Amino acid sequence: MSLLEVSGLRKRFGGLLAVDGLDLSMSEGEMLGLIGPNGAGKTTVFNLLSGFLTPDAGEIRFGGRNLVGLKPHAICRLGMARTFQIVRPFPQLSVLDNVRVAALARHPAMPRALEAARAVVERVGLGARARELAGGLTLADRKRLELARALATEPTLLLLDEVMAGLNATEIDVMVRLIGAVNGGGISVLLIEHNMRAVMSLSHRIIVLSFGEKISSGTPRDVAADRRVIEAYLGEEYVHPAQA
Protein backbone atom coordinates (compact mmCIF):
# COMPACT_ATOMS: atom_id res chain seq x y z
CA MET A 1 0.00 0.00 0.00
CA SER A 2 1.32 3.37 -0.94
CA LEU A 3 2.04 5.60 2.03
CA LEU A 4 2.08 8.88 0.17
CA GLU A 5 0.58 9.64 -3.22
CA VAL A 6 1.05 13.09 -4.70
CA SER A 7 -0.28 13.93 -8.14
CA GLY A 8 -0.35 17.11 -10.17
CA LEU A 9 0.81 19.29 -7.31
CA ARG A 10 0.95 22.91 -8.37
CA LYS A 11 1.68 26.14 -6.50
CA ARG A 12 2.09 29.60 -7.85
CA PHE A 13 3.27 32.74 -6.03
CA GLY A 14 2.25 35.72 -8.11
CA GLY A 15 4.30 35.37 -11.26
CA LEU A 16 6.41 32.50 -10.02
CA LEU A 17 5.35 28.90 -10.58
CA ALA A 18 7.11 27.33 -7.61
CA VAL A 19 5.82 23.80 -8.05
CA ASP A 20 4.65 22.65 -11.45
CA GLY A 21 2.61 19.49 -11.71
CA LEU A 22 4.63 17.32 -9.34
CA ASP A 23 3.95 13.58 -9.04
CA LEU A 24 5.49 11.67 -6.21
CA SER A 25 4.85 8.48 -4.32
CA MET A 26 6.34 6.75 -1.34
CA SER A 27 5.88 3.30 0.09
CA GLU A 28 6.06 2.36 3.73
CA GLY A 29 9.51 2.17 5.24
CA GLU A 30 11.07 4.04 2.34
CA MET A 31 13.67 6.81 2.56
CA LEU A 32 13.17 9.22 -0.31
CA GLY A 33 15.65 11.97 -1.03
CA LEU A 34 14.52 15.26 -2.55
CA ILE A 35 17.35 17.21 -4.12
CA GLY A 36 17.81 20.08 -6.50
CA PRO A 37 19.28 23.57 -6.76
CA ASN A 38 18.18 26.38 -4.46
CA GLY A 39 14.82 27.79 -5.41
CA ALA A 40 13.78 24.53 -7.04
CA GLY A 41 10.68 24.41 -4.85
CA LYS A 42 11.68 21.72 -2.37
CA THR A 43 10.67 23.52 0.81
CA THR A 44 7.51 24.66 -0.93
CA VAL A 45 6.68 21.00 -1.50
CA PHE A 46 7.18 20.35 2.21
CA ASN A 47 4.96 23.29 3.10
CA LEU A 48 2.29 21.97 0.75
CA LEU A 49 2.48 18.44 2.14
CA SER A 50 2.42 19.53 5.77
CA GLY A 51 -0.46 21.96 5.34
CA PHE A 52 1.36 25.25 5.78
CA LEU A 53 0.47 26.15 2.20
CA THR A 54 -2.56 25.21 0.14
CA PRO A 55 -1.90 23.88 -3.37
CA ASP A 56 -3.49 25.60 -6.34
CA ALA A 57 -4.05 22.19 -7.89
CA GLY A 58 -3.24 18.56 -7.26
CA GLU A 59 -3.90 15.78 -4.83
CA ILE A 60 -2.09 14.64 -1.73
CA ARG A 61 -3.10 11.29 -0.33
CA PHE A 62 -1.50 10.05 2.86
CA GLY A 63 -2.43 6.57 3.98
CA GLY A 64 -5.39 6.87 1.64
CA ARG A 65 -6.60 10.13 3.19
CA ASN A 66 -6.81 13.38 1.29
CA LEU A 67 -4.67 16.03 2.99
CA VAL A 68 -5.49 19.07 0.90
CA GLY A 69 -7.27 21.65 3.01
CA LEU A 70 -6.25 20.20 6.34
CA LYS A 71 -4.43 22.39 8.84
CA PRO A 72 -0.86 21.52 9.85
CA HIS A 73 -1.81 20.26 13.31
CA ALA A 74 -4.34 17.84 11.82
CA ILE A 75 -1.79 16.52 9.37
CA CYS A 76 0.68 16.04 12.19
CA ARG A 77 -1.91 14.07 14.12
CA LEU A 78 -2.47 11.85 11.11
CA GLY A 79 1.17 10.85 11.30
CA MET A 80 3.16 13.21 9.09
CA ALA A 81 5.70 15.26 11.01
CA ARG A 82 8.10 17.86 9.65
CA THR A 83 11.15 19.81 10.68
CA PHE A 84 11.94 23.36 9.60
CA GLN A 85 14.91 24.41 7.53
CA ILE A 86 15.63 27.19 9.99
CA VAL A 87 15.13 25.42 13.27
CA ARG A 88 12.40 26.71 15.57
CA PRO A 89 13.02 25.61 19.13
CA PHE A 90 10.98 27.05 21.99
CA PRO A 91 13.84 29.14 23.35
CA GLN A 92 12.59 29.58 26.90
CA LEU A 93 11.83 25.91 27.48
CA SER A 94 14.29 23.18 28.31
CA VAL A 95 15.16 20.49 25.78
CA LEU A 96 12.95 18.07 27.67
CA ASP A 97 10.03 20.51 27.85
CA ASN A 98 10.42 21.26 24.16
CA VAL A 99 10.00 17.60 23.31
CA ARG A 100 7.21 17.20 25.84
CA VAL A 101 5.09 19.73 23.93
CA ALA A 102 5.31 17.39 20.97
CA ALA A 103 4.72 14.27 23.04
CA LEU A 104 1.49 15.77 24.40
CA ALA A 105 -0.02 15.23 20.97
CA ARG A 106 -0.01 11.49 21.63
CA HIS A 107 -0.04 11.45 25.45
CA PRO A 108 -2.37 14.15 26.81
CA ALA A 109 -1.39 13.50 30.42
CA MET A 110 1.66 15.49 31.45
CA PRO A 111 3.57 12.75 33.35
CA ARG A 112 3.17 10.23 30.55
CA ALA A 113 4.20 12.83 27.98
CA LEU A 114 7.28 13.63 30.02
CA GLU A 115 8.26 9.95 30.07
CA ALA A 116 7.79 9.65 26.34
CA ALA A 117 9.76 12.86 25.80
CA ARG A 118 12.60 11.59 27.96
CA ALA A 119 12.85 8.44 25.88
CA VAL A 120 13.06 10.39 22.63
CA VAL A 121 15.61 12.81 24.07
CA GLU A 122 17.81 9.86 25.02
CA ARG A 123 17.34 8.29 21.63
CA VAL A 124 18.69 11.33 19.77
CA GLY A 125 21.58 11.65 22.20
CA LEU A 126 20.54 14.83 23.98
CA GLY A 127 20.12 13.12 27.35
CA ALA A 128 22.96 15.06 28.91
CA ARG A 129 21.39 18.35 27.85
CA ALA A 130 17.80 17.52 28.81
CA ARG A 131 17.46 20.31 31.36
CA GLU A 132 19.26 23.02 29.38
CA LEU A 133 17.30 25.85 27.83
CA ALA A 134 16.85 25.35 24.11
CA GLY A 135 17.88 28.94 23.44
CA GLY A 136 21.44 28.20 24.52
CA LEU A 137 22.13 25.10 22.45
CA THR A 138 24.66 24.76 19.65
CA LEU A 139 23.31 24.46 16.12
CA ALA A 140 24.00 20.73 15.95
CA ASP A 141 22.08 20.14 19.17
CA ARG A 142 19.24 22.34 17.98
CA LYS A 143 18.96 20.23 14.86
CA ARG A 144 18.80 17.14 17.03
CA LEU A 145 16.15 18.80 19.16
CA GLU A 146 14.14 19.61 16.05
CA LEU A 147 14.37 15.96 15.06
CA ALA A 148 13.46 14.82 18.57
CA ARG A 149 10.35 16.96 18.64
CA ALA A 150 9.16 15.62 15.33
CA LEU A 151 9.84 12.05 16.50
CA ALA A 152 7.91 12.62 19.70
CA THR A 153 4.73 13.07 17.68
CA GLU A 154 5.18 9.41 16.71
CA PRO A 155 4.93 9.90 12.95
CA THR A 156 4.72 7.29 10.23
CA LEU A 157 6.28 9.74 7.78
CA LEU A 158 8.97 12.25 8.69
CA LEU A 159 9.78 15.25 6.49
CA LEU A 160 13.32 16.48 7.15
CA ASP A 161 14.23 19.86 5.67
CA GLU A 162 18.00 20.28 5.23
CA VAL A 163 18.72 18.86 8.62
CA MET A 164 22.48 18.70 7.85
CA ALA A 165 22.83 22.34 6.84
CA GLY A 166 25.46 24.13 8.89
CA LEU A 167 26.86 20.99 10.50
CA ASN A 168 30.50 19.92 10.34
CA ALA A 169 31.64 16.54 9.06
CA THR A 170 31.50 14.79 12.43
CA GLU A 171 28.08 16.17 13.23
CA ILE A 172 26.86 15.10 9.81
CA ASP A 173 28.03 11.54 10.40
CA VAL A 174 26.16 11.45 13.70
CA MET A 175 23.03 12.80 12.05
CA VAL A 176 23.27 10.33 9.16
CA ARG A 177 23.45 7.42 11.59
CA LEU A 178 20.57 8.83 13.57
CA ILE A 179 18.34 9.20 10.52
CA GLY A 180 19.34 5.75 9.35
CA ALA A 181 18.31 4.36 12.71
CA VAL A 182 15.00 6.23 12.61
CA ASN A 183 14.23 4.81 9.20
CA GLY A 184 15.44 1.41 10.31
CA GLY A 185 12.90 1.57 13.10
CA GLY A 186 10.10 1.72 10.52
CA ILE A 187 9.50 5.43 10.03
CA SER A 188 9.41 6.53 6.40
CA VAL A 189 11.53 9.58 5.68
CA LEU A 190 11.33 12.24 2.99
CA LEU A 191 14.61 14.10 3.06
CA ILE A 192 15.54 17.45 1.53
CA GLU A 193 19.30 17.72 1.49
CA HIS A 194 22.16 19.51 -0.24
CA ASN A 195 24.82 17.28 1.28
CA MET A 196 25.21 14.72 -1.51
CA ARG A 197 27.21 12.19 0.46
CA ALA A 198 24.51 12.07 3.11
CA VAL A 199 21.51 11.92 0.84
CA MET A 200 23.03 9.45 -1.60
CA SER A 201 24.09 7.08 1.15
CA LEU A 202 20.81 7.24 3.06
CA SER A 203 18.17 7.25 0.34
CA HIS A 204 16.54 4.25 -1.27
CA ARG A 205 15.32 6.48 -4.03
CA ILE A 206 15.88 10.06 -5.10
CA ILE A 207 13.78 12.67 -6.82
CA VAL A 208 15.39 15.68 -8.42
CA LEU A 209 13.56 18.98 -8.62
CA SER A 210 14.51 21.94 -10.76
CA PHE A 211 12.42 25.07 -11.24
CA GLY A 212 9.44 23.36 -9.69
CA GLU A 213 9.56 20.32 -11.98
CA LYS A 214 10.70 16.77 -11.41
CA ILE A 215 13.57 16.23 -13.82
CA SER A 216 14.68 12.82 -12.67
CA SER A 217 13.94 10.00 -10.27
CA GLY A 218 15.40 6.66 -9.45
CA THR A 219 18.11 5.04 -7.37
CA PRO A 220 20.92 7.29 -6.19
CA ARG A 221 23.27 5.70 -8.70
CA ASP A 222 20.92 6.25 -11.63
CA VAL A 223 20.21 9.82 -10.64
CA ALA A 224 23.89 10.64 -10.21
CA ALA A 225 24.56 9.42 -13.73
CA ASP A 226 21.58 11.22 -15.26
CA ARG A 227 22.76 13.84 -17.77
CA ARG A 228 19.95 16.25 -16.97
CA VAL A 229 20.71 16.14 -13.26
CA ILE A 230 24.40 16.71 -13.83
CA GLU A 231 23.66 19.75 -15.95
CA ALA A 232 21.03 21.23 -13.66
CA TYR A 233 22.58 20.55 -10.32
CA LEU A 234 25.38 18.12 -9.64
CA GLY A 235 27.99 19.34 -12.07
CA GLU A 236 30.58 17.23 -13.87
CA GLU A 237 32.77 16.92 -10.78
CA TYR A 238 30.36 14.82 -8.75
CA VAL A 239 31.10 11.15 -8.84
CA HIS A 240 28.80 8.74 -7.07
CA PRO A 241 30.78 6.34 -4.84
CA ALA A 242 29.40 3.38 -6.76
CA GLN A 243 30.75 4.73 -10.02
CA ALA A 244 34.21 5.57 -8.75
Partner 1 sequence: MKLLALLAVAVLAALPWIVGSYLVTVLIFIFFYAYLGQAWNIVGGYAGQLSVGHAAFVGVGGYAAALLSAHAGLSPWIGMWIGGALAAALGAVIGYLGFRFGLRGFYFVLLTVAFAEICRVVALNVDAVGGALGLYITFTGNPRQFQFQDNRAYYYVALALMLGSTALVRSIERHRFGAYLTAIRQDESACEALGVDTLRVKMLAMILSSFLTGVGGTFYAFYLFSLQPNAVFGIPLSVEIIIRPIVGGAGTVMGPILGSFILSPLAEISRTYFAQGGWNGLHLIVYGLLLIAVVLFLPQGAYPALLRLVRRRPA
Q: Which residues would be at the binding site for partner 1 (CB under 8 A)?
A: 50-52, 71-74, 76-77, 81-82, 84, 88-93, 97, 100-102, 104-105, 108-110, 113, 149-150, 152-153
Tell me the residue type at 150: A
Contacts 24+ apart (CB under 8 A), 163-170: 163/83, 163/191, 163/193, 164/193, 164/194, 164/195, 164/198, 165/85, 165/194, 165/195, 166/139, 167/139, 167/140, 167/143, 168/140
CB of 149 to partner 1, least distance (A): 6
CA distance 140 to 114: 23
**Is-contact 188 30, C-beta < 8 A?**
yes
CB of 117 to partner 1, least distance (A): 11
CB of 6 to partner 1, least distance (A): 19
Tell me whether residue 17 or residue 105 sits nearer to partner 1 (CB atom).
105
CA distance 91 to 168: 23
Tell me whether residue 158 or residue 179 sits nearer to partner 1 (CB atom).
158
CB of 72 to partner 1, least distance (A): 4
Q: State the DSSP H helix or E strand holding residue 201, giving kind and residue range, or none if neither.
A: helix 196-202
CA distance 20 to 104: 37
Q: Is 58 exposed, middle or buried (0-12, 13-18, 19+ CB in 10 A)?
A: middle
CB of 83 to partner 1, least distance (A): 8
Tell me whether residue 153 or residue 216 sits nearer to partner 1 (CB atom).
153
Tell me whether residue 108 or residue 186 sits nearer to partner 1 (CB atom).
108
Tell me whether residue 162 or residue 226 sits nearer to partner 1 (CB atom).
162
CB of 161 to partner 1, least distance (A): 11
Tell me whether residue 7 or residue 94 sits nearer to partner 1 (CB atom).
94
